[in-house]
Structure 1
């Protein structure tokens, strides 16, 4: 009863199909009522009930031979049709059985001893024997339900027996001979025949009408407490729970075929042989091997094959933990063994001069193809990942999402995401929660991720009771209602069954599923670790543990599926194949497993100009400042859009207009634009308004998707959850697969970007150097000191600049390669025009590099932060350095300037205001709009234009230890050394002092600090 919805109960279990033909003939609906007299006679319940019909033709009473199951089912159907048509006790029972929060031992409540007065004496009665069977059916059903809920707590999922965290204490309500009284039985009832039915092993009911209680319990133990256990009662949908129940209960009825057993054995031979081969050939190398978890390999193979052969999946994107990854890349995913052996032998190459560092072999990913059991081919990509555990999770999902959208996989059936997790990491690392939270959100959902836990039952040296506060490492997944299966890795047939079930689940429900593969580490954290230092009992047990391959061979030989000689020959052949592949890996080759960079003789130009013709800009401006007729726009927004249009018509644009024009122009050129982050649809500072809301109907309107009929690409803005790590990782992964899209992540405030510092350090700024991952991701970071305190002022500019790979100590030999060779681009701009060109350059640059944009909150609407439309058209382009525009007007000519202030970002507005207010004429202000790669030639050219400037000031509003000064000092000294006029110029600092916090929380202190840095900047001017 508990696992079904009314709509699903009206098929083969409906009484209208069998026992009430007269009612069907009369066109009437049988109404079942029950008044139950609760009498205890030893351990049995006695009930009285009636069946009546609304039709005048009447309905015959159900005969005892019809069985108790049908009787109970009739009650259930009547209750589903109208709960008031059955006695309140039945109402309580059925309501409790469908409520996953009610323990099974409390589902049944005995009714009061009075018959309802609404029923007459002449209503035909159901026999006492049938009622007794019906009650036994209900009590047995409660036993089954208890196993469904708690059977996993007694499942034999630990290959080490009672050693390790996989051993969970059986739940006290789990039925056993010692607690049968909880369910209304005694040990004397163990041989009592109980009728089967729609909610009591329906798959057996067609051939077996009854079953002794003893066998019911044994069957439950076999199904729910065997070598795997299932947790699914946290799922709210009865239909979904029923789907799982039906699949699990039929497992033993459909054992694997001999052919499938052969495939399992073959995969085990390859996986086990590879580990033993590597241990022999490279005994001192870490590999984080699959030893102790070999059962995972045939499970992964079965999962991929099922997804591809049965459900039409064509591409799989994988994020993986360390354990066993190198093994399954070659034995399951399709990576060639020669490359694998080359990584162990150290024959793979890195272009150190090109800035590559490479990585340790067990961090690399791969792209390959797997030939499935059905003869098909499926693309498999496993992403590289750092030792920052679980950091790759959102990256994999982001890449899968992008591939789905690029390939038009609307129903998300062709491209799938898969994740392998470590037990300690899944329960301990924050990105797991953040990634799970994305699973059902618009703009981030991928149609379900299949998650496998490589559960070593330990985290390095830390036992599980010290790693988590929950019984299972997988418990976190319950909050998204993912079904969770716990399985003994030493039962590869069970692992394969659950992996195939997981493939079917994703195809059916498009949501996450978790398989907790309980295994062990045969050689400790890695192969040179001595784990018995801290886990002596566990490793004594492991030392005696027979390897899975030998166990499974014994099983297959014992049951006659395989012959021992054939298996030994297969093992010898595999070993010989590995020897041959190792030999081939040592042969000289032009390709030699090298990581390659672009080979070019000269820097490549932009593929398209970043300038756009004025007619196109006018079309975009018209679209982004108007709404459809009848759209009820907020009154204030009407004024804002009208002002934008008026400004554009007058020839000027502000920051947000320039951004929208850049987005719109890219979309019209067939380049999709995606922006995500907290509040990005409107913008944290109410500056963007890219999605408009009807104030009456609540309808949404996205102007950038209505630029012209049949526009070739779309603009997507996605308000993200309150997450930085997960969402930035997701968008980085998305950018890897979408080089033709502008992909932007925007922080609510730049201060919060450090919640994603791992993604920034390990992926965005170093992913190319380590793994040759090309990303054009844009990070948009609000930044600027406005007296808003230490949490709303700083995106940590200095920290990002520290991550730049450029050498400041010497003038570059070839400036033309700067953009190719840099690892990241960092800009802090003051003009909307530069924003426009920077965004468009990101798409049309021949070199894909992440772009970090620091943008000033106060300049969003500042009069100084305006650009002319002409600066977006014609031959205009990005300007990395902006010279002072006021020579000959408010300040002296260039040769009369004796002090040059260099700055970036919004401090320019304060410097400009201070200079005007104090009538300072002899000081020029130069803006460095792009900080990395450093614009060497442009800065030198600018300083050379001031031949008599003896003081060069770097001015920043950030603290001495927090802004660009530490980055700029060496570079300015290098530039000065190359200049004829500035070899002996003073280079001085003007800015805030050092500080532990990014900014003060006091407005008064903030203003005093700003006055001081402005005074220092202008000095004796």
Structure 2
């Protein structure tokens, strides 16, 4: 008797369901069945049951066929997206093997045979033809879906159930269809209007992807009904103006004013081009729900805004929706070339499920033009799809024909439902085209003559849909004409109104979060700020952060560390850098502010100084002593993924949405921030000037020459200082714990926000002379310049200005030489430069004929060039620095020490 003859007694539907489960999740199937299916697959692929030891006559033909039909169903689920009708303007690439039934061991004769396998599709027993028809409608028409790589059975099952409903086809009412046509008309007519009124001007037209507008419209309406209260959107250039007007409600006349190039009412802002500006509005949905809409400003480095959007969303969730983070929905609209080509997208995708960066799922929409400026998609990526980065986090991906507006809207509703159900990302690849060149003034036929010949003959999505609705008897041609004429008439009125006004206005986004804050010019930035606290408050914080829970076991080194902190505050009155940080955070929290810090290894600190998170030895439970403060704000601190660009963008977005949170990003080493250079150039240094958006992000950049080589010495302060202008940010290089403490507190207690760049120490974290008293913390203030308190001005012949850690190297040498004719003056704030204090210091030491600027960096780096640019002293500086070098520091510790000593010697010996 054949050992597999038991198959005769097993119901085919049971085998079909079990085999279907095996194909999706092999490990979930009982081992003996899994072994059988593995062998059976091998036998089927090689055409021989005998090799498996199965006598064919003992296996009913119907059972064999059931297996083959299940294989067919699995083929459609796994590869059906490759064979869809999703490209509106050209043939898709050919893939093999195809989904023809012969490739699954079936024949045309089987089409009328009934199979139990239909039950795995939720359709019960069905003929092969019915099963095929069902699969074709789900997987091979206007929507292709990739999801079979997902590893969670409940998500797979949810998706398959969703697809089986209406066979993945929408079923809209007459009124809904008319509404879709209305939004399509707005999208098409708006672009046509701009094309005729502003000939040749850049507008990054949405033409070819207009179905994005009704899709976003339905998304907002549906999301509001599911409890979403805020949208945060990052938008590509293409389609931005239409989205602002037709979705976010920005007055078209304001856009026309921007096209006319009018100056801004706010003279202190430079403003930006119209397709970079952000916007916030409130919208009432058809069901009467209020929803807040935010579209973040973005530079031409398009994908940069994706990380900012995530940070904005997380800030809103932490501040307003802690118990229901899904109430804030991030949406990022990408271009196809950008999502495939920009590494930031991968960084943001990798954040999606991390504790410090999760936002409850993002809907990613790609407006796929099939071309990047002049570059064909075959030259733009190696992957099959531009959206393949989404598979990193096993996110479902839907590919949709942009000409089929009902399919597009259906896909958007699917994406929303998945996000709300599972709190995970979804990607929609909206496959359309770009009607004109990259910027309307460009000639695309130079590089894609065949494609643009096809596009020139292609109808727009509104006309395609209107014809469909006319054929269905839903509307007539007169209805379409009236829609077009009515909307065009409104735009004409807006255009006329816009030309009656001389100037236009920049409106900042999220103004409700910034109520009570004001913009600050340089004079306000230079004004003294009261950062004192009572000794009682300082003591309360110190008590809390120097007491470990008694019922938990900690490493002996941790116990010693916390005991040492208690001793330094309550006995020695000598507080180090780590205590300065923690006391600054704690006192701010007691005053109602939150604190968020992220970056690589920030919980402990790269140099093991912070230990803001303490681990219980046997369980690795995390203890945040700052969060044990009573009646205080929240302390959030997260070790980040190994990313600078994405994480800085995230934390910048967080600070943009939460001005009452001290938001800090710390680099592992200062020069690692150059991985985030686009964020620094486009947002941190320029956003207030361009977009009227304040931001208080703090960047902590470890800096100092300790012989660790080119990549671990310099935070490249010259780059930040070169970006400084008038009133755009603070830059500091502190030398005492108390000054660091007061600077961090100043960042929050003022009624404005500016980015703060801090060049933080490494060796000074445990330097025996880098200590401050608690009285300096409680009663002191931030000193932009620290004079040499030991110097006798009458004796001083050499006046040395220095910044940061190098001061202590010079101090050691001065004491070694016994030079009381040298004064060492520290410039703690490099921007805005304390010019008044510098001038007063020079005047004080009037006997000093030798005025020195000393720095450990090469002369072409560091702060020297900045000093020359921003300060014109009566007496010129003698510069003491390393010579001009291409690399910031030598890789040889011997050579590094030699160069360092040479600079120190030159300070005390001009010869």
Same fold (TM over 0.5): yes
Alpha-carbon contact 1:956-1:990 (below 8 Å) kept: yes
What is the SS of the residue equivalent to 2:228?
Answer: coil
Matching of residue 670 in structure 1 with residue 605 in structure 2 = no
- On the 8 A contact 2:16/2:117 being kept in 1, the answer is no
1:801 is matched with which residue? 721
Shift in alpha-carbon separation, 1:188–1:832, aligned structure 2, 3 A: same
Match of 1:169 in 2: 94
CA separation of 1:337/1:986 partners in 2, compared to 1, >3 Å: closer, same or farther?
A: closer
Residue 866 (structure 1) aligned with residue 794 (structure 2) = no
Aligned runs of 1:560-709 on 2, under 5 Å? 560-588=473-501, 592=505, 598=519, 603=524, 609-649=530-570, 650-708=572-630
Distance 1:466-1:630 versus aligned 2 partners, 3 A rule: same
CA distance in 2, matches of 1:358, 1:498: 37
Give the gaps of 5 or more residues in structure 2: 512-517
Pairing of 1:86-125 with structure 2 (within 5 A): 88=32, 91-93=35-37, 112=52
> 1:407 deviation in Å?
0.4
- Residues 25, 153 of structure 2: 8 Å contact kept: no
How do 1:378-527 and structure 2 match up within 5 A? 378-527=291-440
Partner residue in 1 for 2:145? 230
Distance in 1, matches of 2:520 and 2:324, equals: 40
CA contact (8 A) 1:777 1:850 kept: yes
Q: How many residues align?
A: 901
Residue 57 (structure 1) aligns with: none
Q: Secondary structure of 1:673's partner?
A: strand
C-alpha distance in structure 1 between counterparts of 2:827 and 2:731, whole Å: 11
Instruction: Rate the CA distance shift 1:365–1:699 in 2: closer, same or farther, 3 A.
Output: same
For residues 263-412 of structure 1, the aligned pairs below 5 Å read: 263-309=179-225, 311-347=226-262, 349=264, 351-352=266-267, 354=268, 356-412=269-325
| Cα distance per residue 1:585-631 (max 9 Å; x no partner) | 23338975577985999949989831111122122222212201132
Q: Are 2:265 and 2:503, in contact at CA under 8 Å, matched by a contact in 1?
A: no
* Aligned-partner Cα distance in 1 for 2:547–2:40: 55
Determine which structure has greater relative contact order: mean sequence separation of CA pairs < 8 Å that are 6+ residues apart, divided by chain length.
2
CA distance in 1, matches of 2:166, 2:527: 59
- For the structure 1 residues 998 and 305, does the alpha-carbon distance in structure 2 shift closer, same or farther, using more than 3 Å as the test? same
Structure 1: distance between partners of 2:871 and 2:525 = 28
How far apart are residue 421 of structure 1 and its match? 0.6
Check if 1:156 corresponds to 2:85: yes
Distance 1:493 1:104, change over 3 A: farther
Q: Hey, what's the Cα distance between the residues in 2 that align with 1:83 and 1:168?
A: 34
Q: Which residue of 2 aligns with 1:885?
A: 789
Deviation at 1:140, TM superposition (A): 1.4
Structure 1 counterpart of 2:656:
736
Instruction: Give 3-state SS (helix, strand or coil) of 2:365's partner.
Output: strand
1:769-809 Cα distance to aligned partner (Å, 9 max, x none): 11111101100000000000001001101111000003xxx
The match for 1:1001 is: 891
How far off is 1:115 after superposition?
9.3
1:159-216 alpha-carbon deviations (Å, 9 max, x no partner): 1122xxxx232331x3215xx1x422223323333345431x31x33xxx422x2343
Q: Which stretch has the larger CA shift, 136-145 or 834-843? A: 136-145
Q: CA deviation at 1:756?
A: 0.4
Three-state SS of the structure 1 residue aligned to 2:119 is coil
Q: 1:864 to 1:281 in 2, by over 3 A?
A: same
> Is structure 2 residue 28 aligned with structure 1 residue 69?
no
Cross-structure match for 2:847: 948
**Larger displacement relative to structure 2 (453-462 or 361-370):** 361-370
Give 1:111 shift. 8.8
Contact 1:295–1:489 (8 Å) recurs in 2:
yes
Match of 1:839 in 2: 744
Q: Give 1:411 shift.
A: 3.1
Take 1:287 and 1:155, find their aligned partners in 2: how far apart are those partners? 32
Equivalents in 1 of 2:645, 2:195: separation in Å?
Answer: 37
Contact 1:958 1:998 (C-alpha < 8 Å) held by counterparts = yes
Structure ranking higher in helix proportion: 2
Whether the 8 Å contact between 2:506 and 2:691 is mirrored in structure 1 is: no
Once the two structures are superposed, residues 870-901 of structure 1 have per-residue CA deviations (whole angstroms, 9 ceiling, x without a partner) of 11123x210000000212xxxxx212212110
State the Cα RMSD in Å.
3.0
Preserved contact between residue 903 and residue 956 of structure 1 (Cα < 8 Å): yes
CA distance in 1, matches of 2:255, 2:49: 63
User: Counterparts of 2:133 and 2:24 in 1: how far apart (Å)?
Assistant: 32
Aligned CA distance change for structure 1 residues 76 and 194 (closer, same or farther; 3 Å): closer
Relative to structure 1, the CA distance from residue 149 to residue 879 in structure 2 (aligned partners, 3 Å threshold; closer, same or farther) is same
1:27 equivalent in structure 2: none
1:373 to partner: Cα distance: 3.7
1:1017, distance to aligned residue in structure 2 (A): 1.4
Larger Rg: 1
CA deviation after TM superposition for structure 1 residue 380, in Å: 0.9
How far has the Cα of 1:222 moved from its partner?
Answer: 2.4
Report whether the alignment pairs 1:935 with 2:834: yes
**Distance apart, 1:997 and its partner CA:** 0.8
Secondary structure at 2:8 match in 1: strand
SS at match of 2:808: helix
Report the CA distance shift for 1:81/1:471 in structure 2 as closer, same or farther (over 3 A). closer
Q: Deviations over 1:547-599 (max 9, x none)?
A: 11111111100111112111211111111111112222233389755779859
Alignment of 1:18-37 (within 5 A): 36-37=4-5
Structure 1 moving runs of 4+ over 6 Å: 74-87, 94-97, 102-111, 594-597, 599-602, 604-608
SS of 2:877 mapped into structure 1: strand
Q: Give, in angstroms, the shift of residue 96 of structure 1.
A: 9.4
Instruction: Name the SS of the counterpart of 1:785 in structure 2.
Output: coil
Deviations 1:22-74 (CA, angstroms, capped at 9, x unpaired) = xxxxxxxxxxx99535xxxxxxxxx84336xxxxxxxxxx7xxxxx4356458
Q: In the aligned structure 2, how far is the partner of 1:72 from the partner of 1:434?
A: 41
Whether the 8 Å CA contact 1:36–1:111 is kept in 2: the answer is no
C-alpha distance in 2, partners of 1:473/1:95? 36
Q: Which residue of 1 aligns with 2:712?
A: 792
CA distance in 1, matches of 2:766, 2:313: 38
Tell me if the contact between 1:75 and 1:86 (Cα under 8 Å) persists in the aligned partners.
Answer: no
Distance, in Å, in 2 between the alignment partners of 1:81 and 1:287 is 48
1:103 CA drift (Å) = 13
CA distance in 2: counterparts of 1:338 and 1:544, whole angstroms: 32
Which residue number corresponds to residue 748 of structure 1? 668
Distance 1:104 1:1012 in 2: 79
* Residues 932 and 84 of structure 1: CA distance in aligned 2, closer, same or farther (over 3 Å): closer
Secondary structure at the aligned position of 1:326 is classed as helix
**SS at 1:316 equivalent:** strand
CA contact (8 A) 2:18 2:29 kept: no
Are positions 1:773 and 2:663 aligned together? no
Deviations 1:745-766 (A, max 9, x none): 0001101000000001101111
Q: CA deviation at 1:907?
A: 0.5
Structure 2 vs 1, CA of residues 105 and 885 (structure 1 numbering), >3 Å: closer, same or farther?
farther
Q: Can you list the C-alpha shifts for 1:75-114, whole angstroms capped at 9, x where unaligned?
A: 99999999999894675328999xxxx9997999789556
Structure 1 gaps of 5+ residues are 1-32, 38-46, 52-61, 63-67, 117-126, 807-821, 888-892, 977-982
**Alignment-derived partner of residue 42 in structure 1:** none
Q: Retained in 2: the 8 A contact 1:35–1:49?
A: no
Q: For residues 631 and 107 of structure 1, what CA distance do their matches in structure 2 show? A: 64
| Equivalence for 1:818 | none
Asked if structure 1 preserves the Cα contact closer than 8 Å seen for 2:520 and 2:752, the reply is: no
Q: Residues of 1 paired with 2:22 and 2:682: CA distance?
A: 61
CA 1:380 to 1:79, structure 2 compared with 1: closer, same or farther past 3 Å? closer
Structure 1 residue 676 displacement after superposition:
0.6
Flag the 1:89–1:915 CA change in 2: closer, same or farther, 3 A.
Answer: closer
Indicate the residue corresponding to 1:246 in structure 2.
Answer: 161
